[in-house]
Amino acid sequence: MQFCDECGSMMKSMGSKMRCSNDDCQHTVAKDEEKAAQFVSTEAQSDDDVIESSEDANFEGKPTADDVTCEECGHGKAWYTIKQTGAADEPPTRFFKCRECGYRWREYN
């Protein structure tokens, strides 16, 4: 990763140049091909491993827990995602969505 000398924001590869990702700065420098070979581009990164906990998050297709009970309908299976919501030394939070009625809740370990 390369950072802008002017503002400290991350630089983006733009052909033969590196451009600051900060729209207010947009500082550019010539790309150092030797250094560029060391960088990994994330433009093709998928969001398969992104954990969504927002209200409109799509839980379908996520892992299923069968050791939980929905407080709304009593169903025993729910999709879930895990997210680190506190400090790194604290356990993660599990977010659930009932497979039957769609009710959402979270569980702190």
**Which are the catalytic amino acids?**
89-90
Token pair recorded at residue 4: 């802008």
Cβ count within 10 A of residue 12: 14
CA distances from 72 to 35, 61, 98 (A): 55, 21, 9
Question: How far, in Å, CA of 31 to CA of 13, rounded?
Answer: 8
Instruction: Return d(Cα 9, Cα 2) in angstroms, integer.
Output: 9
Specify the length of the chain in residues. Answer: 109
The overall longest dimension of the chain from CA atoms, in Å, is 61
